[in-house]
A and B are shown apart, each in its own frame.
Chain A
């Protein structure tokens, strides 16, 4: 029931903020399912609106239950919820994208507000292939910075994307062997199919927990991949 309310709230917020005219924003909903040590499902919701002049605003949430992994002499509590509001600056004539956000984490590790950031620089700004270097993470408190590469290619109604990143500051996971905090690589391989002009269906394999920046920087326990199915609707 709470998830339904959140979906309705996100859709309603989009409609309220950006009106009913075409292509002024988008709403996304997705589910990521992880087996293995993670063993949780994550519901992801996001609504983004174009504010003009290269500015966008996004609200996003990642929601899951919490669970406990039992190791030899330790346990790891994991899962949880995260909510984020981001301001995005992505001018059309410049090959970069920057965003700053305010997150509200409710996870076993954090129950606090966080300042988040994302940045990407296009190395191939022209053509169907987009290759970019990117960095994202939590700026404060307790910084977590991930740096990596992302690549996407569009061909007709299909598009493909792949990304990989590694924490360069802070830790983003806990070892299931030792119980120590560690750094785990993040990856995603996805394919999206355009269902007409306004909708896109995406399937992906990834170890990243969710769409908020904090959850995007967090892998499933052990880095095991999960499966995502997501729908994006432009409004």
Chain B
């Protein structure tokens, strides 16, 4: 059974719909990557799943339960986490406080999860008392991912985790994403670095004008001459 199933979703910010029938289905073991040109509705899809904009048609089923238009305070406890593209850390709060906020919905002891995050990102342990706003772009992205992982999600959604990072950090972040996935967390992410991201994607979705254009495994999509020509720059 897929961990998430997005069926013919239509939605937008109130005006003309941006999503005109998006379909996505991935397993918890998958890394799903959504690619496509600017304005295709990639980020909008993630926001729609997370209840940040109105879905007017279709449905979203997460972990066997319908969650269409459910709000984050219901989704996070159910095991869905989201890392927005921008402004994704609490800049005035320390690294550790950022992580604690990710665990706000938990009432049990979080010290174990905190240690896991520090093991994954040792640099964060070093800087745990420092305000997150003082960190570099790559380190902030680690804080953002760490925060989202603190709620022990089944599925982690990332909106362009590599945006604005230097090539060295892009690779590092992708490696971390694979590690998280191996630990049993499903990944659904949007990426501009399409070719690089599809290379490790077990499910790839090419979106254009708010609709699916191609769906397949990452390597399949890269190998498809039409996808390569239209969406991956030849």
Do A and B form a real pair?
A: no
User: Interface of B with A (CB < 8 Å)?
Assistant: none
User: Interface of A with B (CB < 8 Å)?
Assistant: none
